[in-house]
């Protein structure tokens, strides 16, 4: 994973650089299945605001987060929290979309009790029962 740290109208000290690299490593470790390729930190100062701007690139994913406070370390922690939240939402969305049931499969689902009620035991060997046929017979 590549960590890029830059600043605009702000001088980065070693402690801030070390904290950024440590937080980026923790984020990459917690989402190692997503194959994070790079994280870019951009620190800047506007009036009284200390701004941390972050761009995360992963496999088929780009996330962007910005945080501003009066302290750069707090801004850095907030921006990492925002990236973590965005990543969790993304992973939940992927899981929700992949679990949707197939409506045709639901319709062809059978239970042995329904088949026995109909006296249709030979369908038990075929492996499925089409519910639409039952509705058509009624």
Encode 106-129: b = buried (16+ Cβ within 10 Å), e = exposed: eeeebeeeebeeeeeeebeeeeeb
Q: For the whole model, what pTM was predicted?
A: 0.67
Q: What is the structure's pLDDT at 86?
A: 93
> Which residue in 9, 42, 40, 8 sits closest to 27, CA to CA?
40
Q: How far is it, in rounded angstroms, from Cα 117 to Cα 102? A: 26
Q: What is the pLDDT along the chain (138 residues), one digit of tens a residue?
A: 899 999 998 899 999 999 999 999 999 998 888 889 999 999 999 998 999 999 999 988 999 999 999 999 999 999 999 999 999 999 888 877 666 666 666 555 555 556 666 665 555 455 555 555 555 565
Q: What is the structure's pLDDT at 131?
A: 55
For the chain, which domains are there?
Answer: 2-98 (3.30.160.100), 103-137 (no CATH)
CB-CB neighbours of 2 under 10 Å:
10
Q: How far is CA 63 from the centre of its chain?
A: 10
């Amino acid at each position: 994973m590549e960590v890029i740290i830059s600043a605009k109208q702000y001088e980065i000290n070693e402690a801030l650089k070390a904290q950024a690299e440590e937080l980026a490593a923790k984020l990459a470790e917690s989402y190692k299945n997503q194959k994070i390729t790079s994280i870019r930190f951009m620190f800047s100062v506007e009036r009284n605001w200390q701004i941390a701007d972050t761009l995360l690139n992963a496999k088929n994913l780009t996330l962007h987060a910005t945080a501003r406070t009066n302290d750069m370390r707090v801004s850095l922690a907030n921006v990492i929290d925002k990236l973590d939240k965005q990543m969790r939402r993304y992973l939940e969305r992927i899981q929700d979309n992949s679990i949707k049931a197939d409506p045709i499969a639901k319709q062809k689902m059978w239970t042995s009790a329904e088949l026995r009620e109909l006296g249709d035991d030979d369908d038990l060997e075929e492996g499925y029962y089409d519910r639409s046929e039952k509705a058509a017979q009624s």
